[in-house]
């Protein structure tokens, strides 16, 4: 299994989640494909090349950029397809995608 984490501009996250839903690769009703899909709002430290994307965080006392973090778990065979789909829907150059191996997974309960 693989874990995919994608850091995407907040205005593009809807297009990415819609593309995942429409792809048919993330139909979790049958237990296959990608699952445990989560989206979190995060703040990236350091400045951007575009100052209009920055804001000052009082909590961190730093300039930050708002991003959405998408995380999902998938079968090894789907990782490349899902990364390509996220890249296309997220528009090239607007974030980062990381893929890592999952050594073990256990269901709680």
pLDDT, tens digit (0-9, with 9 covering 90-100), for 26-46: 876 666 788 889 999 988 887
- 51: confidence class by pLDDT, cuts 50, 70, 90: confident
- In the chain, the percentage of residues whose pLDDT exceeds 70 is 88
Rounded to whole angstroms, the Cα distance separating 69 from 77 reads 22
Instruction: Give the pLDDT confidence score for residue 31 in this predicted structure.
Output: 61
What average pLDDT does range 80-102 have in this prediction? 90
What average pLDDT does range 75-82 have in this prediction? 94
Rounded to whole angstroms, the Cα distance separating 36 from 26 reads 10
Q: What is the mean pLDDT of the chain?
A: 86
Q: Which residue matches tokens 């819609």?
A: 18
Q: What secondary structure does DSSP assign to 6-44, as a single string?
A: EEE-GGGHHHHHHHHHHHSTT-GGGT-S-EEEEEEEEEE
Report which of residues 82 and 24 the model is more confident about.
82
Residues 70-100 as b or e (16 or more Cβ within 10 Å = b): bebbbeeebbeebbebbbebbeeeebebeee
Rounded to whole angstroms, the Cα distance separating 60 from 78 reads 37
* 2-101: CATH architecture: 2-Layer Sandwich (3.30)
Structure tokens at 58: 């009082």
């Amino acid at each position: 299994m693989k874990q995919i984490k994608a850091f995407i501009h907040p205005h593009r996250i809807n297009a990415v989640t819609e593309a995942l839903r429409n792809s048919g690769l993330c139909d979790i009703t049958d237990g296959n494909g990608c699952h445990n899909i989560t989206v979190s709002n995060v703040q990236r430290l350091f400045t951007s090349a575009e100052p209009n994307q920055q804001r000052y965080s009082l909590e961190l006392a730093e300039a930050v950029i708002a991003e959405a973090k998408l995380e999902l778990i998938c079968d090894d065979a789907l990782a490349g397809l899902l990364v390509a789909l996220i890249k296309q829907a997220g528009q090239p150059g607007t974030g980062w995608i990381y893929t890592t191996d999952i050594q073990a997974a256990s269901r709680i309960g």
